[in-house]
Structure 1
C-alpha cells in the first residue's frame, strides 16, 4: 500500500493533473491526499482523470476563499471506505484494507498558516484522535516545526514548538522518519527559508502492524512543498510486462524473412510428432518470446540513433 500526501498549491494550475497522474502511475498509489487545492468543488471528470489503474472513492473539504481545501481518495480495489468525517482542518475516514481484513483510519490535515489559530488546530486534532478507536495515520502540511533542525534560520517560536510536541505526545503518535529531502518547504526566494512542515504520524497500533513502513520526500516540482510518499512495507505484486505486437515492425527491412526463418526453426525443433494445437501453442510462445527481445533491442537502437542525431 502506498499513499501520497501533497500540498500542491492549487489543483487548477497548469500541469498539476498531469503531474498527479504521473505520480499515480509510477507509484501505483492506493491513497491520494491533496492539501491546498483552492477548490470548492470537483467534477466527476476531473476526479476520473486522476484514476490510473482503477476507480477511487473521493471526498473533499472545500477551500476557504482562495486558500486551503483538501481532497482525499482511496483505491476501491484496495480499500472499502466507511463513513467520512470532516473538521475545519482535516478530513478522515475509516477504511477496511481488503488484503489483510484490517480496519484503520487515514486522516489528511492542513494546518493554518495563521499561527493565531494553532491552538484551535491542535485542539481539533487532539479531539479527533481521541475519538478514533482504530489504528491511525495522520499526514499532511501541519505548518509547524518540532525542533531547530526543522528550519534553516534561527527565527523560531519556541513556545509554539513545545506546544506542538506536547500535542503529539498527548495523542501518543510517532512521526515516521523521512528519507530524501532535508526540508519539505521553501519560500523560493533568492536567500530561501526552508522548513519541515509536511509530516506523517502513526499510532503505535498501526506501526506495530506495519513495522517496516517508510516515508520518502518526493522531488518537488511546481509547488513549494515536497510530496510525501508513505509505503507500509507490504510487498507489491507487479504483474509481468505484457507483450504487444507493434505494427510498424512490418516496415523494418527484413522483418518478414526473419519471422519466416524463425517459424521454420521452431517447427524443426519441435518435430513432426506434435499435434496441431500443440504446435500452434509452442510456436506462438517461442515466437512471442523472440519478438519481445528483438523489439526491445530494436527500440534501444532507435533511441541511440535519435540521441546521436541530437548530439
Structure 2
C-alpha cells in the first residue's frame, strides 16, 4: 500500500469502516490473531510498552531519525580571532569538513559584525550567536548553515551559549550548548551551576561541548598535578545532568602547553544525554590538526558504514510464536544428498536459517513501522468514537490493535535486549533506552575509524578494504 492509498484510507474514518477497509488495516499492521497473545504476555511488569509511546519522537517515521543524516559539528578553542590569518584558518576548516555547526571558544572578540561572521564561517556558516569577550579575554560563538539546520531560540549566559537546533531534513530537534570554562578556580563553582541550569527538560536530546578547563578523571592529564576536589565537583555535575562523554577516537589529550616536556590535558570534550545518543547512534568524535591553536578541534560527524549483506540473526523470543517448531522441523527433516556428516549438518542449518527468515518476515518485518501505524489507527478510531458509534467490526479491530501495540513494543524491547548482550537483566527489568545505549556503545567500540599505513592514514571504507 502506497502513501496515497494510506491517506485515502485515513479519510474513511469519518464513516463506518467496511470489511475491506478493516482487512487492509489488518494487512498493514500484520495482524495475526494466533500470534497476538504471545507478545502481549512478554510486556513485563513495568508497563514499558504503553510508556514507550509517550516519547516526543514516537510519532516520527523511524527511518528518518537522524541515523543517516550527516550534520557535522566542530568545537574549537581557537585562542583568538583577532588576525585575518586565524580567521582564514577557521574558514578553511569549516569548508573542508562541510560543517553544519561550528562552535568556537576564546574568540577574544568583543564586538561582532556581519562581515566578521562571514569572514570566520565563510558563505556556508553565515548565521551566528555570540558570547562577547570581556576585552580580549574569553568569548564564544556558534555559527550554523541555515540550509541544513534551523536555530529556533538561544540563551547566552556568562560562560555558555545554548541554542535549540532543528535538523531541517528530518525536523529532528535537540539542544546544543557550547561553554568556555574559567581558568580561575574561584569561578568554577559558578560555571558548573550555569551548566546545570542550561540542562533542558528531561528526555529532551542535549549535546554540550567545548573547553571546560576541567577534568573529571585523573587519566585526563599526563601528570599527577591535579585538583581532586574540582574533579569530584565536575563529576558530580555530569552525573546530576545525566550526561555521558562522547570519547574521541584518535586522541587521548586535547590541549598541550607546547613545551619540550609538555603538559597534556583532555579539557575539550563533547557530552550528551541518552536521548541525544539514541537519535545519533552512528556519530563518532575525532580530533583534527591543532593548526594555529594549542587546542585540538573536535569534529563530531556520522560514520558511514559499508553496506553489508543481511545476516541470519536468531531472536530469543521466536520459539514462543506459532509455527516456529513446525518450521524448524520441516527444514531439518528434508533429505540431504551427501555422505559427509559435516556437509549434511551444514546444509540442514542453512535450510533452517533460510526458512526461519521467511517465517519471521511474516511476523516481524517492519515492526516499528507497524507499531506507529497501529497507534495512528487506534487514534483515528478514538476520534471517530466521539462523533459516532463504532461498529462491532471496528471495536474488534481497535481491541486487536491495542493488543498489537503492546506486543510490538515488547518485541522491540526483547530484540534490543538481545542485541545489547546484557544477559544479567530480565526482559522486564530495564527500559528499552538502556539496551539501546548499550547497543550504541558496542557499535562505537567495534568501528574501525582509520587504518595507519607506513606513509598515510586511510579513513574511507574503500581505502580500508584495499589496505586490508
Match of residue 7, structure 1, among 72, 77, 100: 77
Matches within 5 A, 1:26-41: 26-41=96-111
Counterparts of 2:87 and 2:141, CA distance in 1:
13
Higher RCO structure (Cα 8 Å, ≥6 apart): 2
- Matched residue SS, 1:167: helix
When structure 1 is superposed on structure 2, of 79-88 and 9-18 the one drifting more is: 9-18
Counterparts of 1:159 and 1:47, CA distance in 2:
39
Match of residue 180, structure 1, among 230, 243, 250: 250
The equivalent of 1:157 in structure 2 is 227
Task: Answer yes or no: is the 8 Å Cα contact 2:101–2:125 preserved in 1.
Answer: no
Task: Answer yes or no: is the 8 Å Cα contact 2:162–2:198 preserved in 1.
Answer: no
Are residues 1:77 and 2:169 paired?
A: no
Matches within 5 A, 1:79-118: 79-118=149-188
- Matched residue SS, 2:199: helix
- Matched residue SS, 1:37: coil
Task: Answer yes or no: is the 8 Å Cα contact 2:203–2:275 preserved in 1.
Answer: no
Q: Which has the higher strand share?
A: 1
Q: What is the TM-score with the length of structure 2 in the denominator?
A: 0.48
The equivalent of 1:200 in structure 2 is 270
Are residues 1:136 and 2:206 paired?
A: yes
The equivalent of 2:389 in structure 1 is none
Q: What is the TM-score with the length of structure 1 in the denominator?
A: 0.72
Task: Answer yes or no: is the 8 Å Cα contact 1:177–1:215 preserved in 2.
Answer: yes
Match of residue 287, structure 2, among 197, 204, 217: 217
Cα 1:55–1:179 shift into 2, 3 Å: closer
Residue by residue over 1:237-259, the C-alpha shift from the partner in whole angstroms, topping out at 9 and shown as x without a partner, is: xxxxxxxxxxxxxxxxxxxxxxx
Counterparts of 2:202 and 2:123, CA distance in 1:
31
Count of aligned pairs between the two proteins: 235
Counterparts of 1:14 and 1:53, CA distance in 2:
16
Cα 1:234–1:98 shift into 2, 3 Å: farther
Gaps of 5+ in 1: 236-311
Once the two structures are TM-superposed, the CA of residue 134 in structure 1 deviates from its matched residue by 2.5
The equivalent of 1:298 in structure 2 is none
Counterparts of 2:221 and 2:125, CA distance in 1:
39
Once the two structures are TM-superposed, the CA of residue 183 in structure 1 deviates from its matched residue by 0.9
Residue by residue over 1:108-153, the C-alpha shift from the partner in whole angstroms, topping out at 9 and shown as x without a partner, is: 1001111111111111111111557621110100000122211111
Match of residue 89, structure 2, among 13, 16, 19: 19
Counterparts of 2:200 and 2:91, CA distance in 1:
35
Question: For the pair shown, which has the larger CA radius of gyration, 1 or 2?
Answer: 2
Cα 1:171–1:46 shift into 2, 3 Å: same
Counterparts of 2:201 and 2:275, CA distance in 1:
15
Q: Which has the higher helix share?
A: 2
Cα 1:113–1:216 shift into 2, 3 Å: same
